[in-house]
Every structure is written in structure tokens, then in C-alpha cells.
Structure 1
């Protein structure tokens, strides 16, 4: 074991020596004799000189100066640029965008069928709007403003157009009719390509997934068609008890279907291959489920809207079937559109407000209301750049709202002719 070697660095050796050999105060325990150390006296003297300025050679340690001494001539602080330079990643103040108080353009849409369960409006990737007016379908070019009639059903009977949906190529359009047919048209050549049969009642909903077309009818069935082959019918999806009024494919291939039976079904390729059974059956809505919208920034997030007896917007995790949120809008929900640039969702409503509402997701705080329609706003569609929404209502008008701001505003201005102030509130009869 190492020896203990005491440290005597804190011992004053002069005082110790004086106590041992001099007149030590220990000789008399009853006497208080102050021991003065020469080294301590010297320390006190020098400390007093420094602090109190008793020495002529040295001033106070904390002496007051009128200003800081100037740096030596030619001295440059190398850190000045570091502290004064603004960081490239520094957060900038978010600029709030202005929201329109009125539509940028209004078009007449006479004979637009006032039926909640139909889908009569769509906007293609080539910037062409297709709208069904009675027994005819018209194409409105958003760049040139020209209107071209595409087709018309047999006017001898009571046939009329009940649904339309653009293909992803922007060239082909599917049209459902009251006579239970699905027609495929080439919009560029304005000619019918083929007719798809299989439904026993009107076809009120259509949705594309590549070359696969899903159609939903009043016969409660959902049919899947492969438009490339002669025997086009590839699957029959059975699950609804009343008319199918909403169909939407997600980018990942899941199919959401809503019906007048208040049911929402989620289908995927695996469930369809197992005999056409649904993946999830969701019955939390209290009215018809027509409004469907897949989230652009989360693949398994679906928003749905209910009819007059329900009036809610609900959000679902389609992988688990869990309902994530539900908000009461106090009005019939007719259509939903997500903002592809911000976490926002736009809803259109019927009784009793007949308006559009912009909501912040996921808090569902209402950002703005857009008024102008005098009847229920049945349909909405979004332009290719994602900044403008067109709404079609039972008041037989179509209104354009620039509610979503595109990230590159110069591109939006070049592609979006509806932003031209000269066309604001100009009424054009597209019939």
C-alpha cells in the first residue's frame, strides 16, 4: 500500500515556524494573541494597491473608463462577416395568400341535371373541361375558351348523361348514361371508340386506373372493365345495397366506393382477386356517401363527405379502416378537393348554405367561405396546375375559383387563362 503523503501547499510555513520557536499563543490558552504573518501582510498590501489604487504605478482593476480603448491600427476582426452574414437556411416570414371574394369567371350551364347522385364534371390533364348538360357532353378549352360539342345520347327516349370521367392520358373520356351504357370516346377525333355493357340501370359514377375503368350503377354493382380487350368485364364488385354514387382510385390502386346505402367500401387488388370482396366496410356515415377525395401527400388517407342527414367530412386510414377525424359542416357535402400544394381541403355544399368552404388539415379550422351559387354546388374539378377549382351547381352555372396557390405563380399565370381580369364575371353560354 502506498504511503500517505500529506499536502502542505495550503500551510503558511512562516506562521508554523513562529508558533514552534517563538512566543506561541498556544503557551497560554486563555490569551488571544493575533499572529501576524509577513507574507499575509505583503499580500494585503498588494491587494489594496490593485483594488483601491493606493499605488501610483498601478490603477484600479475595475477602473471606470469613458470608452473602450481603440484597436491597434490596421487590426481587422475576422469574425465580423460570420456574425453579420444571413444564413441561407434561416426561416423567412410566411406570406399569407389572398383568397378570392368572388369567382374569376362564370359560365352558363343550362340543363345541368339537378341530381345529387350523378357526376357530371371533370377537368383533364390537357386543360379541357368536360361537362354534361342534359343529353349532351361539351368540351370547354380553358386555354382558348372555345366550346365543342362531343356527343349526344338518343333524344327519342328519356336517355341522358349520368357520369363522365377523363382518362389519365387526357385523350379518352368515359361517359355513363341513363340507359346503363358506358361509352368510351376519343376527344381529339370526337368519335366513339367502343361501348361497354353490363349494368342493369344507370351508371352514375366512373373512375380510371390506367387502362382499367370502374363503373358504379343504380343496380348496386361496381364493374371493372379492361378497355383494351374484347371481353372487357374483368370483375364484379358486390357490396352496396343501393345506388353507387361515388368512385375514386388512389394513386396506389385502392378503390373507394360510396353509395346511397350510407356505406363506404375500400377495395384493393388482393380483395378483388379473392372473389370481389371488399377490404373494409365502413358504416359511420348517416347519409349517402358521394364526395370522395384521396389525399395527395399521404397515400392511405381518404376524405369522404355525407349527404343531408349526415353533413360531415370524415377522414380514414384505408390500410386499417380506422376513422381518424369527423367534422360537422352543417350542410350537405357534395364534393371534396384536396390542395396539392398545402395541407388544405375544399368542400362544396348543398342545403342549406350552397357554398364552398376551405379547411386547414388536420385541425379542420375553417379558413374561408366562398359564396355566389344560389343552389347546391353538386360538382367540383381541379385544373392540371392545381390552383383553380371549377364548381357546377343546380343554379345552372359554372364558377371558377382560384383558391389554391401554385408554388410557381408565373407558371400558373401562363397556364391559367381564367386569371385574366378581363374575363371576370363574363357569362358565356356553353350551350
Structure 2
């Protein structure tokens, strides 16, 4: 029978559902034993004092004073008995949620778990995974939960909900974000509403056309059907330049840099050259047999692209104006842009190709084969613009099937970066004031998106058009962007206003007198 007694004792030792009786007593148990011992000693003192009062004659006033006087305790009592509560004449104040303040109780302190966690640091952590799982299971069985997720100190109950309609006046003070001064000064305000809206009735809703352009003299040229209108941004005056006859209509307009000459492409193929200051047509250049949807100037050379995919270089100073012809696109040319320094020419077509040509201003002939031909875009490439501070960097955007903006280094023919615009890219313009660019989009939001370069993070999205945006143009000072939409409206966005602090510094520098030598005065 002794072996069965040994087995029963062993089972009692390894059982996990009974409290541990061996080992030192917990701290809370020692504290309760100490408090009970002090209570017993106080009772003995009271009994001795009562016996003393019974055997000794004490005046009535002194006995009343001893009976009513109480010695203050070091630790106040935590609770009263139900009898004492019922015997009290003062009614208890109800705990309403709209009280003065809520003081949470922190009495749910688990001393056993805190002692275990403090002594865990001295354990040997180099154990096998099986031993680790075994210890974890033993710990959960002993404590009834996973001690890694148990807090040593926690509140017993949550704060009561405030009464209905209650408002905290200090909430605004403590919830307002405090931005450092250096970060606050780095941001700028971008108006999300257009500064001005102009009507553009009968504007042709065609993705492949370029119907607006802004001259250096602050005059905007807009093609509306068969007519070309000029809007003076300084005075607000609107004049009609000319009106085509028959089935012909305007397909593209382009101002000569730093001049008053306006090139106008038509649907039947001829390109007209107008002197806007004198309101006079200078010449007609019959370079194409189909509509001319894209044009770009390089000093006195006007490059035009037609629906047949043909590119023609026209020298407007000569009688025989055609100085070069390129057949590198198989479908309509919808994007055409010369670099600011005249080193490169970029052309985009409906054949999803982006071609880069090399050329120098003043040359009599141009290369007929592209320097680079990129086929990464999956749709028509219309949106093209060169970086103003890196003249070898080109930004291009694809149509509905592509929806991607790509950046190219034309010195080595590499794609620097790309970003998914999630919508049709119709036009791109680089900012002259900030290291940013703006892109115009079609379905589904018909918005303008401002991108930070080279991080390619969105700075702002400007919405307002109810149909896709066809073209973009920028003011001569670079502060305002004009968008032409298929909803027959022209919207002006002041999204690149210069920083007033930097503007003041520039004005101060320009107003400073310069020291000249005696021979230069």
C-alpha cells in the first residue's frame, strides 16, 4: 500500500489547479497579517483602558473626553461596514458622470506576477524551443493566463461617460497640434479653388490637339472651333484674331519665344503664321496634307507634327521653309517639345512611342533618325515637358491605358523614375519657382496634381473640372497655371505663387547699390 500512497502524493504535487502552499507567503498576505495583529493590540489597549476606568474614579468630564476623542490612525480605513453606512444620517452622494473629476482606482496590483517578472531577468535565456514552450505552458497553468500580456498595475474600472451635451472647454487647447517653426515655414498655402474661370464655348474635345498657349507678353491664345481668340491677362480684353471658312478648324497654336508671332495649325494641313501686334497674317506654310496637332519652336525653326506621323522642320525666315523631314512615327503626332537649350527634341505619338532627336539651333539640316526611341508607355504620349533647371531631363505622360508619368535622362537614354497617376495624363508642366511639376488628368477625377520632384509625392490635388482636362499653359512669371477642359471652361490656378520672404530678399538684393571702379562709372 505504500507505493499507492507515494503515487497519490506525487500526483498532488504536480497538480496545476490547486494553490501553491509551500514557499514564502505573498506580500499582501503578510500585510493583512500585520494589520490584523495591530488590530488585536489596539483591542487589548482598549480593554485595559476600560478596566482602568472601571476600577479608578475619573471625573465625568474627563471620561466623556476620553470616550469621544479618537487617536488618528496612520493608514485610513478603506471601507466601512454595512451597519455603519445604514446608521449614518448623511445620505451618500450619487456618482454621476458629470461630476467634478474622475479619480481611478489603482488597487488591482498583481504582486505575484510583478515579483515573477522582476526575477525573470536573471534566468538563463539560452534554452531550446521545446523547453521554452514547456515553460510557457507551465506559466499559463500556474497563473491562469499569459503573463506577457498581463499588466502589473491596471485600473479596476473605466472612467464614466460624460453627460449628453457636455463639452470640454480645454479640449481645443490640449488637442491643437504644435508644429515646429522650421517645418511650418517650409510649407506654403495652395488655393484649391480657381482664381478665375473663363468660358470656352465650342472648344474641340480631342485628346490629340493642343489648343492653348501663353505668350511672354501675357497674352493667351485659345482655339475655339474655327476661330482663334486672344485674351490679354493684364487688361482682360478679348479679341478675335481670325475665323476659318468651310470645313477647316484650328487644331494647334504656339507662340514664338520672346515674340508676337503666333503659329496656327489647321485640320486640312496648312500652318498659318500671324503677327498679333499688327493683326496680320504673314504667310501660309503647306508642309502637311493632314491636320497638324502639335507644334514647337526652336528660335526661328518651327517643328510641326501631323496626323500621318510626319515631322517637318520649317525655317520661317526662308522662302523654301522646309529644312528637314522625319518619318519616325506610324500614327498621329500629339506631343512635341524642344528643350530650352535646343539640344534635344521630344516627340510623342499615338503609336505609344517617345522619340528623342538631337539638334542644335542654327543648323541647316537635322537628323532624320531618332537618337532614342522609348516604348515603355502603353498608350499615346501627349504630355511632354523639359525640366527648366536640368535641361536634359524630360517628363512624359501616357494616356488611358498607361496612366504613368516617366522621367528620362536624355544624355544616356535612361528612365530615371516613374509614378502611377491612376488616370489619363493629358498635359505636364514644370514649375519655374519650385522643384515641382503639375499634371492634368482625365477620367475619373479630372484633376490637376502637383508633384514634388524628385520625391514624386503629391503636394496637392486641384479639382473643379467636370470633364477631362485637355491642355495646360503657364503664365510668363510662372505663378499661374491655366487648364482647358472639355467642359468648355478655362480655369486659372495660382498654385506656384513665390514665397513672400524669398521675394523680399530678392528685392533687397536688387535694390543694393553696386560698387563700380573708377573706370566703369
Fold match, TM over 0.5?
yes
Query: Which residue is 2:221 aligned to?
Result: 130
- Is 1:261 matched with 2:351? yes
- Aligned pairs (5 A) from 1:32-431: 94-154=185-245, 156=246, 158-253=247-342, 254-269=344-359, 273=365, 275-407=367-499
Cα pair 1:307 1:333 within 8 Å, conserved = yes
What CA distance in whole angstroms lies between the structure 1 residues aligned with 2:502 and 2:372?
A: 43
Aligned partner of residue 94 in structure 1, secondary structure: helix
Q: Look at both structures and tell me which one has the larger radius of gyration over its CA atoms.
A: 2
Distance 1:142 1:196, change over 3 A: same
CA contact (8 A) 1:312 1:329 kept: yes
What do the CA deviations read for 1:394-429 (whole angstroms, capped 9, x no partner)?
0000000000022568989xxxxxxxxxxxxxxxxx
Q: Which runs of 4+ in 1 moved over 3 A?
A: 91-95, 270-275, 407-412
For 1:200, what is the secondary structure of its paired residue?
A: coil
Cross-structure match for 1:12: none
Distance 1:299 1:272, change over 3 A: farther
The answer as to whether partners of 1:272 and 1:278 remain within 8 angstroms in 2 is: no
Provide the alpha-carbon RMSD of the alignment: 1.9
Does the CA-based 8 Å contact 2:357-2:367 persist in structure 1? no
Within 2, Cα distance between the matches of 1:223 and 1:181? Answer: 12
Between the aligned partners of 2:503 and 2:324, the Cα distance in structure 1 is 42
* CA-to-aligned-CA distance 1:111-165 (integer Å, 9 cap, x gap): 00000000000000000000000000000000000000011111x2x21000000
CA-to-aligned-CA distance 1:379-402 (integer Å, 9 cap, x gap): 110001000000000000000000
Asked which structure has the greater RCO (Cα within 8 Å, sep 6+), the reply is 1
Alpha-carbon separation, structure 2, partners of 1:331 and 1:94:
32
Distance 1:149 1:409, change over 3 A: farther
Contact 2:324 2:366 in 1 (8 A): no
Deviation, structure 1 residue 92: 9.9
Instruction: Go from structure 1 to structure 2 and tell me whether the alpha carbon gap of 1:132 and 1:407 turns closer, same or farther (over 3 Å shift).
Output: same
Residues matched between the structures, number: 320
Partners of 1:212 and 1:225 within 8 A in 2: yes
In the aligned structure 2, how far is the partner of 1:374 from the partner of 1:92?
Answer: 35
TM-score normalised by L of structure 2: 0.60
Q: Which whole-Å CA distance do the structure 1 matches of 2:457 and 2:336 have between them?
A: 27
How far apart in 2 are the matches of 1:103 and 1:143? 18
Taking structure 1 as the reference length, the TM-score comes to 0.72
Point out where structure 2 has 5 or more consecutive residues left out of the alignment: 1-181, 505-521
- On the 8 A contact 1:385/1:406 being kept in 2, the answer is no
User: Structure 1 or 2: larger strand share?
Assistant: 1
Shift of 1:274: 6.5
Q: Matches of 1:409 and 1:162 in 2, distance apart?
A: 42
Asked whether the 8 Å contact 2:358–2:367 carries over to 1, the reply is: no
- Contact 1:237–1:272 (8 Å) recurs in 2: no
Cα distance in structure 1, aligned partners of 2:403 and 2:436? 19
